[in-house]
């Protein structure tokens, strides 16, 4: 008897915890990636351009915060702005493998929750750092943010494997990674409208606070494996026992048993590495370069760009 059927007979509809985990992981992508990537790209394009919109037939003809106390202008060349993006992705790339290894040794949920909390805190610090025009500090902060993203992303894949069954894996992966591709679209809308009509730093406060709330919810409701969840229903526990992926709990023993030689000499592994690199390169270019392009080439304001 499925958990859904048990819920219907008892007049209470219960959601399997594997779907709760999937929604939480989707939220991690929405909040962490939205604040650290898309919002930052649009805000930097806005505060370094300092120009009125000149595009005809604009949806949002004027940014009301422009040249007011709610606006900010930073003297920084386009080259430096794109170096900031490059530093972020350098940190992201360098910590992918260490992040995956860390999650085999320590609790994946604790690693991910800590990363989300630190990313959110660093996003909240951006309104303090940007007006200082301290380039080395800003570069260090962006490298730190990228490194945290590189740590938590491999953890997501491990948690999906731990909580999914073979017949539901594609469904849960779809739910989780919807957040990865929805994050830029949602973040651009939020950032563009708020920095144009509220304040230049509102996107950072919005995503920073949302991330702190999400991390609190994550620490309360997320577990490494179904076996570790004390409140898991009997029906779902049996379901995972009979159909689960049998993912082992993180430990030093698991870390030491990784077959490095087989992995590094595997053609399918390198095919995945190349495919992931190409996908990330294209997505990075779209997220980071498009706001600056529309501001420079079409003289749109930030709300129209979003």
The model's pLDDT over 112-142, given as tens digits with 9 standing for 90+, comes to 999 999 999 999 999 999 999 899 999 999 9
State how far the Cα of 143 lies from the Cα of 130, in Å rounded to an integer: 15
Question: Angle, nearest 10°, between helix axes 135-163 and 108-129?
Answer: 150
Q: Which of 299, 86, 69, 31 is nearest to 201 (CA)?
A: 69
When mean pLDDT is compared across 3-7, 121-125, 285-289, the lowest value belongs to 3-7
Reported confidence tier of residue 2, pLDDT bands at 50, 70, 90: very low
State how far the Cα of 59 lies from the Cα of 56, in Å rounded to an integer: 9
State how far the Cα of 126 lies from the Cα of 128, in Å rounded to an integer: 5
| Size of the chain in residues | 306
Reported confidence tier of residue 234, pLDDT bands at 50, 70, 90: confident
Report yes or no: 146 and 84 within 8 Å, Cβ to Cβ: no
Whole-number pLDDT of residue 221: 93
- CB neighbour list of residue 64: distance below 8 Å, 6 or more residues apart: 196, 197
Residue 2, helix vs strand vs coil: coil
**Is the Cα dihedral 187, 189, 193, 198 positive or negative?**
negative
Instruction: Name the DSSP class of 132.
Output: G
Reported confidence tier of residue 181, pLDDT bands at 50, 70, 90: confident
Q: pTM score, two decimals?
A: 0.85
């Amino acid at each position: 008897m499925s958990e859904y059927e048990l819920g219907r007979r008892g007049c209470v509809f219960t959601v399997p915890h594997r779907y709760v985990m999937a929604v939480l992981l989707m939220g991690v992508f929405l909040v962490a990636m939205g604040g650290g990537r898309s919002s930052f790209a649009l805000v930097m394009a806005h505060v370094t351009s300092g120009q009125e919109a000149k595009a005809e037939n604009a949806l949002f003809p004027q940014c009301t915060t422009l040249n007011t106390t709610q606006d900010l202008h930073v003297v920084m060349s386009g080259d430096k702005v794109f170096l900031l993006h490059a530093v972020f992705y350098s940190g992201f790339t360098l910590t992918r493998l260490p992040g995956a290894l860390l999650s085999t040794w320590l609790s994946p949920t604790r690693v991910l929750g800590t990363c989300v909390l630190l990313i959110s805190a660093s996003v909240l610090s951006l309104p303090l750092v940007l007006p200082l025009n301290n380039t080395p500090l800003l570069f260090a902060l962006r490298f730190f943010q990228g490194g945290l993203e590189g740590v938590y992303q491999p953890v997501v894949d491990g948690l999906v494997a731990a909580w999914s069954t073979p017949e539901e894996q594609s469904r849960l992966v779809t739910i989780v990674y919807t957040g990865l591709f929805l994050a830029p679209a949602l973040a651009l809308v939020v950032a563009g409208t708020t920095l144009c009509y509220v304040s230049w730093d509102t996107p950072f406060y919005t995503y920073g606070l949302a991330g702190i709330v999400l991390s609190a919810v994550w620490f309360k409701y997320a577990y490494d494996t179904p076996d570790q969840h004390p409140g898991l229903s009997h029906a779902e526990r049996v379901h995972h026992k009979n159909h689960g992926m049998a993912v082992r709990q993180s430990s030093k023993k698991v870390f030491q048993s990784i077959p490095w030689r087989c992995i590094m000499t595997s053609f399918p592994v390198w095919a995945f590495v190349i495919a992931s690199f190409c996908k990330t390169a294209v997505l990075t270019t779209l997220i980071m370069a498009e706001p600056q392009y529309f501001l420079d080439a079409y003289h749109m304001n930030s709300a129209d760009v979003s």
